[in-house]
Amino acid sequence: MERENEILHINEEVSTEYEISALMKAFDGGPILYFHNVKGYENNVVGGVCGAKKRICRALKTNLEKIYEKISQACEHPKEPQITESGSVMEVLEKPNLNRIPVLTHYFGDGGPYITSAIVSALSPDGEFENVSIHRLQVLDEKHLAIRLVPRHLHKLWLMAKEKGRDLDIAISIGVHPAISIASTAPVPYGVNEYAVANRLMNGRLKLIECPNVNAHAPADAEIILEARISASKMVNEGPLVDITGTHDIIRKQPLIEVLNVMHRENYIYQALLPGGSEHKILMGLGREVMIWKIVSMVVPHVKAVNLTVGGCGWLHAVISIEKQTDGDAKNAILAAFAAHPSLKHVVVVDTDIDVYDPNEVEWAIATRFQGDEDLIVIRNVRGSTLDPSGDQKTGLTTKMGLDATKPLDKPTESFKKAEIPVNDKIKRLIDELKSIQQRT
């Protein structure tokens, strides 16, 4: 990324309390930010690594048109990574002191400093299954964290350990290859090892270590690893923290984590992630886009693109472009999208001539191709996202809406085409020259 001018270096002294996060928000979706002078800390901080899809495509050696297929194939054909005895993350072994790590306090009103980019890995109590997932971790003191556990795979492993009266061993890895972050949010069923998905995405280059103090694996070249245990019995208040919607999530009773040991590179870089920022939305949403693309492709002939929109928090709103053959295709696509991503609240289906990443084009399609009494689907009192402050954040119940903004097939296609002006080579050249002058001034 340095070679491609994708990194902005910041040498002025900045604080982990609000200042770094303010700069990350100001440049959200732009370059990677590299902070060389962090007040009170020896180590540097980097933010926004996965904040643009083009960078993720570079990391996965693919392009935007093929990224869904690449992730889907990795999920279907995972490859177990190599286990090695040592790695660069083991250069320094020390007792836990979380206050020495430059963890950020992001927003006014947050419950405290939060580790937000960490990959948490755990084995089932019988050692048969391994799960890798991203979780927000609230720093409570030098050796304790609170973890937000939603009822997914890590929560299941924790319950299994709890039933046996045991704490759950985990490895918390900070500063990892983007393929691992993407794999950790991939829509794979319980029992599929996300490390194996990441290894397939990395063409077999992922190496793991066996943690010396807990029964867990971690990337050998991570920047930092915290060996820890999730308590089977101790619960603490977790939150509030801004989540993907850009609003503060509610305070909940969540499990306590005790950190037992810290491993890190000698001069590690702390990887930060801005809650509610573009990186958060991409990492959470990309796997869901893959699932929507896959499931909707089963009910319509061709899905061109899926976009969990920025305005929809990268989670609650989807725009899907399809190649429509019958007037029922768009409605089937809407229902399939809701099935693929239960947190979805609103879905807009458009034709392939509409750019799903351009909100003006999507709105134009709604304005010119949608009729509320014929093309609207409303589903009441169904499961949605607990992150939506307008819904019931305890039960997750909400109302969902789908809009068929595709061209009706019983009307002339010409009625729905945008008018064009012929542009010859002379005018193209003149336009380019005028735009260049405009940019300079």
Inside any domain, residue 431: no
Per-residue tokens: 99 = 């206050």
pLDDT in tens, 127-169: 899 999 999 999 999 999 999 998 899 999 999 999 999 999 9
Q: What is the pLDDT of residues 208-230, one digit of tens each?
A: 999 999 999 999 999 999 999 99
pLDDT in tens, 59-82: 999 998 899 999 999 999 999 999
Bridge partners of 34, per DSSP, are 9, 46
Catalytically annotated residue among 110, 167, 221, 243:
243
Element (H, E) at 24: helix 19-26
Q: pLDDT for 365-408, tens place per residue?
A: 999 999 999 999 999 999 898 888 888 877 889 999 999 999 99
Residue burial 284-323, b: 16+ Cβ < 10 Å; e: rest: bbbbbbbbbbbbbbebbeebbbbbbbbebbbbbbbbbbbe
In the annotation, is 243 catalytic? Answer: yes
Q: What is the side-by-side strand order in the sheet with 317-323?
A: 302-308, 317-323, 346-351, 397-404, 376-383
Q: Read off the pLDDT of residues 290-313 as tens digits, 9 standing for 90 and up.
A: 999 999 999 998 999 999 998 998
Domain residues for the domain of 400 are 297-409
Total domains, the chain? 2
CATH number at residue 123: 2.30.110.10
pLDDT of residue 246: 87
Q: Which two tokens stand for residue 233?
A: 């019995």
**Greater pLDDT, 37 or 250:** 37
Pairing of β 269-272 and β 44-47: parallel
Tell me how crowded residue 415 is: count the other CB atoms within 10 A of its CB.
10
Same domain, 208 and 308: no
Rounded mean pLDDT, 30-42: 97
At 58 the pLDDT is 94
Q: Are residues 241 and 346 in the same domain?
A: no
Distance, in Å, from the CA atom of 265 to the CA atom of 224, rounded to the nearest integer, reads: 7
* Shared domain check, 154 and 87: yes
Q: Tell me the C-alpha distance between 106 and 15, whole Å.
A: 11
Tell whether 266 and 349 lie within a shared domain.
no
Please report which helix (H) or strand (E) contains residue 373, including its range.
Answer: helix 372-375
- Under 8 Å between Cβ of 89 and 222: yes
Tracing tokens 């890190």 back to the chain, one arrives at 264
> Which pair of tokens denotes residue 214?
């807990």
> What CATH number is attached to the domain comprising 327?
3.40.1670.10
